[in-house]
């Protein structure tokens, strides 16, 4: 599952860069009916499940859906997005690997009642969901991210949005290696 940052701190153009990265990375995954499934949540001050796991979703259909995924704006409420991800995983197939790929271009908004990143991710881990965080830029602090994942290698840092696309092949190899949960097929379109 991809969880994409569309908060106001992410310019609309850079939101498009994240979507292009998702598109490129998805080409490496075996997304097709009867195989790997993909879901998408976008978040800002609220979160929106835009694509849910679907046994009949083809990669072409996912790309079409990804193109239409809305920019939400507002603060950065990672906790709400991960809560939605947890609910979506609650309806996913049993006994299959589950992984969240979380994009973060800054710290979570400080809002009364918001769960910390660590607590939000812990709930996913309790459900058997592996988590990788894509840190874009210098915020949030790397220590905060490391405290939210199983191992430091599950945080992948990009200096900026422009640096993302060149690292798709690395990320496509890295995630299955460190999660032991995904099969990567090299598909090119």
Residue 186 has pLDDT above 60, yes or no: no
Give the pLDDT confidence score for residue 34 in this predicted structure: 72
Q: pTM for the full model?
A: 0.90
Residue 115 has pLDDT above 80, yes or no: yes
Mean pLDDT of all residues in 88-93 = 84
Q: Which residues pair with 133 in a beta bridge?
A: 102, 155
Q: Exposed, middle or buried by CB within 10 Å (0-12, 13-18, 19+), for 162?
A: exposed
Q: Which residues pair with 130 in a beta bridge?
A: 99
Q: Which residue has the tokens 């696309």?
A: 165
Q: Which domains does the chain have, with CATH numbers?
A: 2-179 (3.40.50.410)
Give the pLDDT confidence score for residue 178 in this predicted structure: 66
pLDDT digits (tens, 9 = 90+) for 42-90: 999 999 999 988 767 888 899 999 999 999 999 999 999 999 999 999 8
Give the pLDDT confidence score for residue 175 in this predicted structure: 84
- Nearest in space to 10 (alpha carbons), one of 104, 102, 98: 104
Residue 10 has pLDDT above 90, yes or no: yes
**Are 5 and 105 within 8 A, CB to CB?**
yes
Mean pLDDT of all residues in 6-26 = 96
pLDDT digits (tens, 9 = 90+) for 135-185: 999 888 899 899 899 889 999 999 999 999 999 999 988 887 766 654 433
Give the pLDDT confidence score for residue 183 in this predicted structure: 40
- Nearest in space to 124 (alpha carbons), one of 94, 77, 79, 155: 79
């Amino acid at each position: 599952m991809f969880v994409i940052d569309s908060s106001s701190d992410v310019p609309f153009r850079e939101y498009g860069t994240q979507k292009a990265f998702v598109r490129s990375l998805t080409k490496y995954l075996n997304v097709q009916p009867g195989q790997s499934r993909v879901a998408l949540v976008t978040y800002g001050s609220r979160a929106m499940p835009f694509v849910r796991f679907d046994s009949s979703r083809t990669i072409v259909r996912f790309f079409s859906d990804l193109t239409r995924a809305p920019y939400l704006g507002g603060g950065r409420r990672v906790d709400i997005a991960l809560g939605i991800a947890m609910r979506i995983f609650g309806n996913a197939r049993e006994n299959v690997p589950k992984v969240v790929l979380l994009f973060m271009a800054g710290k979570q908004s400080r809002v009364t009642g918001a769960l910390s990143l660590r607590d939000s991710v812990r709930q996913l881990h309790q459900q058997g969901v592996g988590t990788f965080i894509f840190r874009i830029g210098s915020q949030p602090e790397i220590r905060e991210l490391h405290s939210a994942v199983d191992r430091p290698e599950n945080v992948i840092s990009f200096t900026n949005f422009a640096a993302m696309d060149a690292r798709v092949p690395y990320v496509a190899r890295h995630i299955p290696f460190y999660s032991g949960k995904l099969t990567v097929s090299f598909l090119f379109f």
